[in-house]
Amino acid sequence: MAVRVATAKLAAAVANEGAIGIIAGTGLSPQGLQEEIRKARKLTSGYIGVNILFAATQFAELVKAAMIEKIDFIVSGAGFSRDVFTWGKEFNVPVFSMASSARVGKLAEKMGASAIIVEGKEAGGHLGTDRSIFDILPEVVDAVNIPVIAAGGIMDGCDIAKALDYGASGVQMATRFVASEECEASDKFKELYLSSSPEDSVLIDSPVGLPGRAIRNHLTESLLEHKKLPIKECKGCLKHCSRTFCIFDALEKAVDGDVENGLVFSGEYFHRIKEILPVKKIIEQLVEEYEMCRRNEKPCGC
Ligand SMILES: Cc1cc2nc3c(=O)[nH]c(=O)nc-3n(C[C@H](O)[C@H](O)[C@H](O)COP(=O)(O)O)c2cc1C
């Protein structure tokens, strides 16, 4: 979760519970990313990956920086190049590709992906589809022979059980872990998740050229009125940018606490989160709900 929402602290806390932590590399400098990886390594001996948006100008430098640090795996989202798989082979680092269709999943497998993370329209941030995860997931599972991980709207143990029943080998969760004590986004960012209503989940046109799911605020209202917002200083962070607003600046503002003028990315089901908890507690709850669901006790009313 970029920019700086998923840091070493959150990723390590997740890895310490036997799950897999992912640091957001997009928006960091290559050196900043290496420092973040070293910090995570000090906090955990569990698995840590790095997610980098292909659309980022520094994609190659960030991927190589993470590989030099012997990261356990790379996740490449919003497009991918052949190069990332070549570097993966060179450094012996598995590459997981984000995909929102069987076609892209198959292509990623052919190019050398070790796993596919299938993301549905329920996800936060940049979206590659308007279809639900549970519509796309079986299609991708049928199309590829590598592990498929389900992402988008997985909020509790029952959702995990359902994703596994649909053929997933695992799930990727983002939104639930924003509302954790270890997430280093500002308290205001997390509180907006708890105080907003279901209808406050909106789609904006990201300068990356994809829709982005966020929580309604002053910024999204201006963008939905098709306003172009002044860009103070362009850092050239994207390979292609529509320049309707500065997404880097907007994501930084939000993570630092200006949740009216910043861009608060969030999955569609943020409203199902009732409290901010330590990661350990969140994972214990997920396991308990999953087990109850399997025993047919249905804790979440699914
Ligand atoms: C605040 C936030 C930032 C995100 N940033 C990224 C990102 O930098 N790269 C990426 O591939 N996905 C990003 N995502 C998408 C998540 O990685 C994840 O696949 C998706 O949100 C899963 O759905 P969920 O949030 O309902 O669990 C982000 C999501 C959120 C909520």
The one-character DSSP state at 180 is B
Q: Angle at Cα 111 formed by Cα 94 and Cα 88, nearest 5°?
A: 30
- 265 close to ligand 1 (CB < 6 Angstrom): yes
pLDDT of 82 reads: 87
Looking at the structure, tell me whether residues 225 and 285 fall in a common domain.
Answer: no
Looking at the structure, tell me whether residues 22 and 117 fall in a common domain.
Answer: yes
- 88 close to ligand 1 (CB < 6 Angstrom): no
**How many structural domains compose the chain?**
2
Does residue 141 lie in a domain region?
Answer: yes
Looking at the structure, tell me whether residues 199 and 249 fall in a common domain.
Answer: yes
Residue with CA closest to ligand 1 atom 18: 174
Q: Which has the closest alpha carbon to 64: 91, 38, 82?
A: 91
pLDDT of 78 reads: 76
Q: Where are the alpha helices (DSSP H) in 44-131?
A: 59-68, 82-91, 102-111
Looking at the structure, tell me whether residues 180 and 229 fall in a common domain.
Answer: no
Does residue 92 lie in a domain region?
Answer: yes
Looking at the structure, tell me whether residues 244 and 219 fall in a common domain.
Answer: yes
Model pTM score:
0.97
**CA–CA separation, 136 and 143 (whole Å):** 11
Question: Among all chains, which residue has been given the structure tokens 């910090």?
Answer: 39
Looking at the structure, tell me whether residues 147 and 221 fall in a common domain.
Answer: no
State the closest ligand 1 atom to the C-alpha of 266, by its place in the atom list counted from 1.
Answer: 31
Looking at the structure, tell me whether residues 221 and 280 fall in a common domain.
Answer: no
Does residue 144 lie in a domain region?
Answer: yes
CATH value at residue 46: 3.20.20.70
pLDDT single digits (tens) 161-201: 999 999 999 999 999 999 999 999 999 999 999 999 999 99
pLDDT of 108 reads: 95
What is the arithmetic mean of pLDDT over 264-270?
Answer: 98
Does residue 301 lie in a domain region?
Answer: no
Does residue 300 lie in a domain region?
Answer: no
Does residue 251 lie in a domain region?
Answer: yes
What is the arithmetic mean of pLDDT over 45-49?
Answer: 98
Domain residue limits at 134: 8-184+274-294
